[in-house]
Structure 1
Amino acid sequence: MSVPSQRQLEKHIRASAASSSNVILTNHAKQRMKERNINDPMVMDVLRSGRLALPPEPDMKHPGLMCRMQRLVAGVNVAVVVYVEHPAPNLTVVTVIDVRKD
């Protein structure tokens, strides 16, 4: 199987995030969200409408890709790092970043 393009990954992440049941937040991501005053709807907005901010990177421990989606939401430039095993619809949110502060 070939590696998907960045555009294909964006479309896949957006389509998968259309159903919140496909999105899993790690404890680390929840902790960072709380620290950075970023809520669940903001994260979902980034996943559903954001853009890949950086090229996807292979995960060292797992067969999938780490993708950083980014979008301006409610005045905050939010980045969501999500683990993707294309073409599976499951998305695991690894961390959430307030880009202005990092």
Structure 2
Amino acid sequence: MAQPSKRQLEKHIQQCAHDSANIVFVNHARERMRLRKINDPMVLETLRKGIIAREPEPDMKAPGLRCVMERYVSGVNVGVVVLVDHPAPDLLVITVMEVTKG
């Protein structure tokens, strides 16, 4: 099966994120969220309304693609790295960061 386009992945993530049961956070992501003062609602909005600004990359440890969803939320440019095994609805949040443009 051909790899989905960036736009198709973006739509897939946005749709799957509307059901929070599809979203799983790894411990590293939770630690980074605490450290960077980024909360669950900010991450959820980023996944539901954000865009993929960078090219998705294959993950070395698990099947699927690493996608960085980005969105400006509550005064912060939030980046959420999510592992997507398209077409499965599960979204694994790997890390969360503040994205700097420059």
TM bucket normalised to smaller: over 0.9
What are the superposed Cα offsets for residues 59-84 of structure 1, whole Å, 9 maximum, x if unpaired?
11222000000000001000000000
Q: Distance in 2 between matches of 1:93 and 1:67?
A: 10
Q: Distance in 1 between matches of 2:69 and 2:86?
A: 15
Q: Which runs of 4+ in 1 moved over 4 A?
A: none
Q: Percent identity?
A: 59
Deviates more, 1:30-39 or 1:54-63: 54-63
Q: Within 5 Å, which residues of 2 pair with 1:1-102?
A: 1-100=1-100
Tell me the amino acid that sits aligned with residue 54 of structure 2: L
Ranges in structure 1 where 5+ consecutive residues have no aligned partner: none
Tell me the amino acid that sits aligned with residue 95 of structure 1: T
Tell me the amino acid that sits aligned with residue 27 of structure 1: N
Q: Distance in 1 between matches of 2:45 and 2:66?
A: 18
Q: TM-score, normalised by structure 1?
A: 0.96
Query: What SS is found at the alignment partner of 2:82?
Result: strand
What are the superposed Cα offsets for residues 44-102 of structure 1, whole Å, 9 maximum, x if unpaired?
000000000210000112220000000000010000000000000000000000124xx
Q: Distance in 2 between matches of 1:99 and 1:61?
A: 24
Query: What SS is found at the alignment partner of 2:44?
Result: helix
Query: What SS is found at the alignment partner of 1:46?
Result: helix
Ranges in structure 2 where 5+ consecutive residues have no aligned partner: none
Alpha-carbon RMSD: 0.6
Q: Distance in 1 between matches of 2:60 and 2:98?
A: 25
